[in-house]
Every structure is written in C-alpha cells, then in structure tokens.
Amino acid sequence: MTLPAGPRGPYNGGVISTDSDNPRAYSPSLDNLRNLLIIRSIALLGQTGVLAYVLFASRTTSDLWGVTISLVILAVLTAASLWRTTRPWPVADREFLAQLLVDVSGWTALMYFSGGANNPFISYYIVPLVIAAAVLPWRYTWLVAGASLLAYSLLLYYYVPFPLFTPHAAMGHGDGANVHILGMWFNFLFSAGLITYFVVRMAATLRLQEAQAVAQREDRLRNDQIMAVAGLAAGTAHELGTPLSTMTVLVDEMLQDESLGEQARGDCQLLRSQIGLCRNTLSELSRTAELSSVQQTRPMAVGDFARETLERWAVRRPGVIHSFECNPDSPVLELDPTLGQALENLLNNAADTGTEKVALKVRWNGEEASISVRDWGPGIPAEMLEQMGKPIIHADRSGLGIGLMLSQASVERHGGRIELRNLREGGTLATLTLPLQRRQGRSP
C-alpha cells in the first residue's frame, strides 16, 4: 500500500509558518482506496457464490431476499466508489474511514441475514481493521475496531437463522454451539486488540522511517547543490581577481591625469572605492571558504555578531532604513563566517521586497538565541508555500533562491533553523535561531 497563492517574492527556501493553519496532507492515496474496493469486490463475489450454492442446493428463495438486497446495495456502492477513483479528487483520511465503515455496516447486514455470528465469514471483520491499522491514524483505527466489535457482539444475539450455517438451530445443539460461537467472539476480541495496538505502532514506525529516508535524500540533494554553488563561487572569485586588478590600474592611471575634470575625478574615485569593495568581498569569500573547510570558529556575543553583520550589510544597502534592538549581556556562541553570510542573506531578502525599512532584533532564553529580521513588504505569496524548504532551486523573476538555501544549510549545520512567517499587519518576519552551547559566557 502507498503511504502516503500572489506574485512571486524573493523567498525560495527555509521553514515556513503562517498565522493560519495549513490543511492536513491527504492520506491515504487513491491506490489504497482502489485496493480496498478490490478486496470488497472479492468478498462480495464469495458471498454471491454462497448465495448461488444455497439456491442450487435448496431450490428456494424464501430466506434469501435480505442477503440478495444487501449484496446488491454493496455492489452499487462499490461500483460508485470505483467510479469515484477515476476522478482527480484527493482522498482524505475521513473518506477512507467512511469506506471502511461502509464495509463494516454492509458486512453486518449480510451476516444478519445469513446466520449472524454462526456464519464462518464473520471473520471478515478483521480485514477492514487490518487496513485501518496500516493506513489510518490510530484514533480512526480504534473507531473501526469498536464498530467491528459492536457489530460482532450484536450478531451473537440478533440474526436471521440460515440453514447452511445454523443447522443447530433446528437440531437441539444450542449449548455446544453457543460455547463455540462465544469462543470465536473472544478470539476476535483478542485479535482486534493486538492488531489495533501493534499494527498501528508498526505502521507509524514505517511512516517515520520513510519520512526520514525522504529527508536524508533531500539533504543529500541540497548538499550536492551547495557543493556545486561553492565550487562555482570559488572559481568565479578567482576569475574576477584579474579584471578587478586591471580596472584598479586603469582607474589609478586616470586619477594621475592632471587634465581630468573634477566631476570625472570624483566618478573615478567612487569607482575605485567600489572596486576596492569588490576586492574585499572576494577576499572575504575566499577566507570564509578556507575557514569553513577546516571548521574554524570563534567565540562571539550574539548581539555583537548581529550588530556587526547589520552594519556591514548597511554599507551595501544604503537606501534601506535599518534599526537594531538587543539587550545587553547577550550570550556568547561559537560562530563561523558562514553564519554572517546567512544573516546577510535574510537581510537582502527583506530589502528585496521593496520595504523602506528593516528591523533586526536579538532575543534569547535559557536554550536558544534568535535573530529576527522584520520587513514591511508584501509578504510571502501563498502559491509559493509548498515550494518553501525544498532543496530544488526553481528559477523565477526574483532570482534562484540560492542565498536562502545556503543560509538554511549553514544554520542547520550549527543545529539551528530558519523560520519565515507572514504577519497579519503586513510584511514578513524571518527568524534565525541557534541553540546555546553549554560552554558560554557573557559579552563584556
């Protein structure tokens, strides 16, 4: 069995939460529903065979109208359900539960008109119970178990005698037969309890293992993408060094020309400062790669780290108003340069929304420290929520989302997380959270 939106914005990865609840994922799938209907059809064919045998053997139809009508109704419901599986409608857990309860109800009607608990096919109640335990949440499984047990119990006393299965009703062997039927009932009760408890636990374990395997595959895929991006960045940094050196020499020669006008000289000086900023950025990129390769970290107060990162970023984005809030004596963490780049990516994402201001706030408790970046932009489009946090990079007008993917990878490597949340009053809140280490101090 198979176990189971606005214009685009700059956010293309990370952990997403919204102020409204997300709908529960549909499970089980259409394949599970088809399998259930096939099983029901096989059971109905078996009962039809029994009905045909009785007709052939007794040559009478006086006691068979109830069985016949029950079979016809179940067959019609099964045919309608099979048609439903051809529709593109998702199958929710409640719909699957309803189908199982149809099985229990329909089978109860069949058993009622064919000897009740004396009918050897009474054990079919175990089939919907096993299916529920395999694919449904535990509370639904217990509901199916309770319905099956109730139906079985009622059929011990309320049923229409059926000559093929209840010959003792006319032969005076009621006491011995009752003991046998009662033993069957206790066997069903014991089996139902074991299946409901242990099969549900085993199915939950299998689902957890499958989810972990999927998460590991996504992590490997994301790591491969990160390594590709890192290799491309290192190669690009090396290749940009030569043209930047050439431009630096040319700008210096132009500044040495005494006939250069004041406006042109000012432009050249600005160009030289921008070239220097590019060279520093490339040097920092190379140094960060070297430190990350040997996993070098340095202790730093989280408040100082956030403030320095904000100040460094503000030089590159002078058109965005920024604010900083942090209480004194922030905890000290072991940080590496990649975390600074991760925070800068969050700041860039906030600025790219078109917001006029960005607010950075640092908070902490006894277990973790968080750095939140608040913007007043349009927020995260609802149509992108399903793509958030996935390792696949999808191109759109706002870029490739590489920055946020790398930020999430860097933070997760330190045991932290990144959360993005739309705010009711407008804008987005991005929070970078890191666990506090046991060995920590306080900033002076």
Output the average pLDDT for the chain: 75
Look up residue 374 and give its two tokens: 């608040």
Q: Which amino acid is at 124?
A: Y
Task: Give pLDDT, residue 296.
Answer: 60
Listed in sequence order, the DSSP H helices in 123-261 are: 126-135, 138-155, 174-194, 200-255
Q: Which residue has the tokens 């989302």?
A: 401
Indicate the range of 40-54, 163-177, 331-345, 364-378 predicted with least confidence. 163-177
- Strand ranges inside 261-356, DSSP E: 298-301, 321-326, 332-335
Helix (H) or strand (E) holding 430: strand 428-435
Instruction: Report whether CATH 3.40.50.1950 matches the domain 298-435.
Output: no
pLDDT single digits (tens) 385-399: 455 555 444 444 444
Look up residue 313 and give its two tokens: 């970023």
Q: Are 155 and 117 in contact (CB under 8 A)?
A: yes
Look up residue 39 and give its two tokens: 């099983």
| pTM of the shown model | 0.46
Task: Give pLDDT, residue 358.
Answer: 93
Dihedral (C-alpha) 334, 340, 343, 348: value to the nearest 10 degrees?
A: 180
Beta-carbon contacts of residue 79 (< 8 Å; ≥ 6 apart)? none
Residue 442 DSSP class = B
| Mean pLDDT of the region 424-435 | 89
Q: Are 66 and 174 in contact (CB under 8 A)?
A: no
Look up residue 166 and give its two tokens: 């209840």
Which residue, 326, 324, 295, is CA-closest to 312? Answer: 324
Task: Give pLDDT, residue 4.
Answer: 40
Other C-beta atoms closer than 10 Å to the C-beta of 293 total 9
Length of the chain: 444
pLDDT single digits (tens) 228-249: 666 666 667 667 777 888 888 8
Q: Are 267 and 287 in contact (CB under 8 A)?
A: no
Q: Which residue has the tokens 């078109």?
A: 354
| Mean pLDDT of the region 97-117 | 88
